[in-house]
Structure 1
Amino acid sequence: MITPLWNARILMTLSLQPLRYARIKPHLSWLIDGTLHSKLRRLAEAGLVERSEVTRGHVTYGLTARGTDLLPVLTVIAAWGEKHLERPLVKNQDTGQMERVATVAPARNVEDTLALIGPRHATPILWTLKARGASSARALSAAAMPGYRPSNIYPQVDRLVADGLAHKDGRLYDLSDSGHALAPVYRSLSAWARGRPLADTHGLWGQAPVATRVKSGPWATTQPGMTVPASPAPAAVSPALAPQSTATPVASWKPGDLFSHQTPVRHALSQAGGPHR
């Protein structure tokens, strides 16, 4: 629902209030009308965006309650990207040298993070490594990719190693520090998918911090591949309620753990290209 390119930016653009198409377009000016219209329609079909006809010829697009509940999840994803992804290089106009930008827009962090965990088998493999610890390729294949030939696991898990989410020690694969740090991302995604508070405890990915919670929006929606302007300061944190439920530990990843419905067809994503953006 959120991994197709530009979907997160559209949701962020609508985070403050419903907008007419003419006011959405400037935020995503690099998208042609046919593409933007199509994405708005698909987000509406997914139940994240609501199309409202105020009067004849006056149509607005706004977030549904489900879409609004997703905004704090995007904040968690952006925070992981800010900490664990390398910053893109830009040319210093004074020195002519390539330097890393000081800050990255939250939308860029969200999309680059989703590009790492969004490929079809990435999340099942990471989920299995979290549940089982260091595992052989054959064990990973049986748990995360049942029905596939065992050799099919190698391109998938090797990509995760190249992306810095896993590491290989001899014949065993395990989560890297960055992979373990995905806990709040998967915990919040799973809670959102189940319609539960983000502070809920997850049987596999642990417990959300009791003392703080993230606050979402407003968002910066800058185009990737361009010089990124300075972003607003990170969203303030406010006191959170204690977790309201506990979850039974799970032995391995199952589709129902992350999605409350059949997984939608995934659209093509830009290649992450390792831990670099």
Structure 2
Amino acid sequence: MAPTGLSRATATDLARVTESLDMIAPRWSVWVLMTLHEQPLRYHEIKPKLAWLADGQLNPRLHKLTDAGLVERGQLSQRHVTYGLTNRGAALMPVLDTLATWAGTHLEKELVLNPQTGQREPERIPKAQDIEDALGLITPRHATPILWTLRERGPVSARDLAAAVLPGSGPTTVYQPLRQLTDDGLVERTAGQSTYQLTAAGRSLNPVHAAFADWAAGRTPARAASGQAPSARKRHGQWATHTARPAMPARPAAASAPATWKNSDLFSHGGPVRPMPTAAGGRRR
């Protein structure tokens, strides 16, 4: 249910972003997408790259991403089946890069010893893990509508926020997701403690929301880096999340992913980095 009091265009963008985030939110989905970003692979080629995933975890992710139109299963022969990104999946890669940039800037990193310099330095986190850690903060139920409403309205009381985000529900229902967003460092109480507002990290999610809104509407997310609010742009065309899946094309490697992505972005560790517990109020992994 979209928050009340938002313009129709803004509510449409919010619905698109929420749906898009739900498509990639299940754990390991981003790792699968990034594994396929260069070229289609057979199952036995994917498996060693994501060796920590059992068949019972990898198969459902491939099927879900295929159903979502981000991955396509190509069968060249009875015994030669490949999985690769669709055009739509390839177009999502720059959007994920925007989310990775936000995560790399705003998520805390543990200090680890560099054996070469003898100095303690921030741990290097694989880009895929940065993205999944960020998704863990913004995809829980009601999180994105709360963040969106606070960005549109500025400081709002919990009661008014509940009325906007959860109309028809009791005012206390907003406290749990609001408390979590506060613990994660995306929302804070104002000086008078009577209203809530976005932190600097919460406000800086705007390019991420803009990129997802553009992608879901079938637009090139060219304006994401400017931080322009999604609601300020013209809207046209059918939702990309509702369009039919195209046939898997033969894409040149240069167009399959942002130039800034390297294999080390995905596999700089033997496995995914686990979330690091932090004190309440910090942005947690």
Cα contact 1:187–1:202 (8 A) shared by 2:
yes
Cα contact 2:206–2:229 (8 A) shared by 1:
no
Give the direction of change, closer, same or farther, for the CA distance of 1:216–1:198 in structure 2 (3 Å limit): farther
**Paired-residue identity, %:** 45
Q: Work out which of the residue numbers 112, 135, 148 in structure 2 matches 1:127.
A: 148
> Which structure 2 residue ranges, 5 or more long, are not aligned?
1-22, 235-257
Q: Equivalents in 1 of 2:188, 2:180: separation in Å?
A: 10
Q: Work out which of the residue numbers 272, 280, 283 in structure 2 matches 1:224.
A: 272
Higher helix proportion: 2
Match for residue 21 of structure 1?
43
Q: Work out which of the residue numbers 170, 174, 179 in structure 1 matches 2:197.
A: 174
Give the direction of change, closer, same or farther, for the CA distance of 1:173–1:271 in structure 2 (3 Å limit): farther
Q: Equivalents in 2 of 1:148, 1:75: separation in Å?
A: 36
- Deviation at 1:91? 6.0
Give the direction of change, closer, same or farther, for the CA distance of 1:167–1:160 in structure 2 (3 Å limit): same
- Deviation at 1:50? 0.2
Q: Work out which of the residue numbers 177, 185, 192 in structure 2 matches 1:164.
A: 185
Q: Work out which of the residue numbers 17, 30, 54 in structure 1 matches 2:76.
A: 54
Q: Could you list the per-position Cα deviations for residues 17-53 of structure 1 after superposition, in whole angstroms to 9, with x for gaps in the alignment? A: 0001111111211110121011101110111000011
Give 3-state SS (helix, strand or coil) of 1:221's partner.
helix
Q: Could you list the per-position Cα deviations for residues 199-252 of structure 1 after superposition, in whole angstroms to 9, with x for gaps in the alignment? A: 245444789xxxxxx6563453242237xxxxxxxxxxxxxxxxxxxxxxxxxx
Q: Could you list the per-position Cα deviations for residues 114-149 of structure 1 after superposition, in whole angstroms to 9, with x for gaps in the alignment? A: 000010110000000000000000111111122321
1:72 has 2:94 as partner = yes
The count of residues paired between Structure 1 and Structure 2 equals 227
1:82 has 2:126 as partner = no
Cα contact 2:209–2:230 (8 A) shared by 1:
no
> Which structure 1 residue ranges, 5 or more long, are not aligned?
208-213, 227-269
- Deviation at 1:272? 8.1
Give the direction of change, closer, same or farther, for the CA distance of 1:73–1:135 in structure 2 (3 Å limit): same
User: How high is the TM-score relative to the length of structure 1?
Assistant: 0.75
Q: Equivalents in 1 of 2:105, 2:36: separation in Å?
A: 25
Q: Equivalents in 1 of 2:260, 2:119: separation in Å?
A: 35
Match for residue 212 of structure 2?
189
Q: Equivalents in 2 of 1:216, 1:204: separation in Å?
A: 28
1:275 has 2:283 as partner = yes
Q: Equivalents in 1 of 2:277, 2:97: separation in Å?
A: 20
Cα contact 1:117–1:123 (8 A) shared by 2:
yes
Match for residue 6 of structure 2?
none
Match for residue 251 of structure 1?
none
Match for residue 267 of structure 1?
none
Cα contact 1:192–1:198 (8 A) shared by 2:
yes
Match for residue 163 of structure 2?
142
Give 3-state SS (helix, strand or coil) of 1:135's partner.
coil
Q: Equivalents in 2 of 1:123, 1:9: separation in Å?
A: 22
Question: Which residue type is aligned with residue 7 of structure 1?
Answer: S
Give 3-state SS (helix, strand or coil) of 1:5's partner.
coil
1:104 has 2:87 as partner = no
- For the aligned residue pairs, the C-alpha RMSD in angstroms reads 2.6
- Deviation at 1:90? 4.2
Q: Equivalents in 1 of 2:25, 2:276: separation in Å?
A: 12
Q: Equivalents in 2 of 1:179, 1:137: separation in Å?
A: 17
Give 3-state SS (helix, strand or coil) of 2:24's partner.
coil
Give 3-state SS (helix, strand or coil) of 1:125's partner.
helix
Give 3-state SS (helix, strand or coil) of 1:52's partner.
strand
Give the direction of change, closer, same or farther, for the CA distance of 1:206–1:77 in structure 2 (3 Å limit): farther
Q: Equivalents in 2 of 1:72, 1:272: separation in Å?
A: 29
